[in-house]
Amino acid sequence: MPELPEVEVIARGLDASVTGRTIESVEVPGLTRLSEPAETLVPKVLGRAIARVRRRAKVLLMDLDNGSTLAFHLKMTGRVVHGPNRKAGKHDRILFHLDDGSLLFFADMRKFGYVRCFAAGELDCWDFLRKVGPEPLETAPEVLAERVTGRNCAIKALLLNQSVVAGVGNIYADESLFRAGINPETRGSRVGRDRAVKLFTELQAVLEQAIAENGSSISDYVNAHGDAGAFQNSFNVYGRKGEACKQCGGPLRAVTVAGRTSTFCPKCQRKR
């Protein structure tokens, strides 16, 4: 599933290439079950100009010139790509034909993602985003640390909890825990304030590096123009169970935390 860096990379790419463009026509080959129905979605966007593209948590937001917002949640295999005009593909769910002849499309092979259009003011009332915690790149590590210390829950589970901190998924939780030297099963109450501050400092560094490297492409993710990311080449632990730790040389292990596989180094990330 695309996490904060991947959605941020897409948002920045689209903001640079589609802002100011007008949606002239819309094709709807087959929206996903969770998407807004075409009969209500299309009239809201037809003829509207794109004012800005941004991100909140793992959601891609496209503000239109009348104050409404298109929201895309990519889930596992969703893509939002801008490029030359073409015929609809097998996995395309909705295609926006823009006034310069280009095409903006949402494709989703497994159909778990969705697109919705919120009228002006409605986005602030959307329960999904109302429950999301602070943005990790816009919040001081000391503030984020206060949200996990004292909690009787595994630190990995807290990182994945979107109400604690926004946009973090399995990849960047594992990578930041490794850099901070914290075992994923350690309870928040056992981490301590200083180590929690270090964790969120490392998380910010990991997210910023991933954004700079165009995100992580493991299976389906591509950026706004269809290009793959490169941060997967910098993974220290994610997906490397049984391989040698890049820091100490010992074998990496994996456990299940909060229903997700968590890869770590038992020597560099001792459990407390």
CATH of domain 141-264: 1.10.8.50
Question: How far apart (Å, rounded) are the C-alpha atoms in residues 104 and 12?
Answer: 14
pLDDT at 175 (0 to 100): 98
What amino acid occupies position 203? L
Query: What is the H or E stretch that residue 8 is in?
Result: helix 4-18
The yes-or-no verdict on residue 16 having pLDDT over 80 is: yes
DSSP for 31-82, please give it.
--TTSPPHHHHHHHHTTPBEEEEEEETTEEEEEETTS-EEEEE-TTTEEEEE
Per-residue pLDDT reduced to its tens digit, 22-64: 999 999 999 999 999 999 999 999 999 999 999 999 999 999 9
Indicate the domain borders of the chain. Answer: 4-131, 141-264
Start-to-end CA distance of the chain, whole Å, equals 30
Model confidence over 148-184: pLDDT tens digits?
998 999 999 999 999 999 999 999 999 999 999 999 9
- Residue 140, phi then psi, degrees to nearest 5: -65, 140
Question: Chain-centre distance of CA 162, in angstroms?
Answer: 11
Q: What angle do CA 103, 168, 218 make, to 5 degrees?
A: 55
66-91 pLDDT, tens digit each? 999 999 999 999 999 999 999 999 99
Provide the pLDDT for residue 81.
Answer: 97
pLDDT of 65 strictly over 90 = yes
pLDDT tens string 204-240: 999 999 999 999 987 778 888 988 899 999 999 999 9
Q: How far apart are CA 190 and CA 269, in angstroms?
A: 13
Give the pLDDT confidence of 114-152 residue by residue, as tens digits: 999 999 999 999 999 999 999 999 999 999 999 999 899
Say what the pLDDT of residue 67 is: 97
Query: Do residues 102 and 84 make contact, with C-beta atoms less than 8 angstroms apart?
Result: yes
Catalytic residues: 2-3, 58, 260
Write down the CATH number for the domain with range 4-131.
Answer: 3.20.190.10
**CA separation for the pair 40, 252 (Å, rounded):** 50
Same fold, 4-131 and 141-264: no
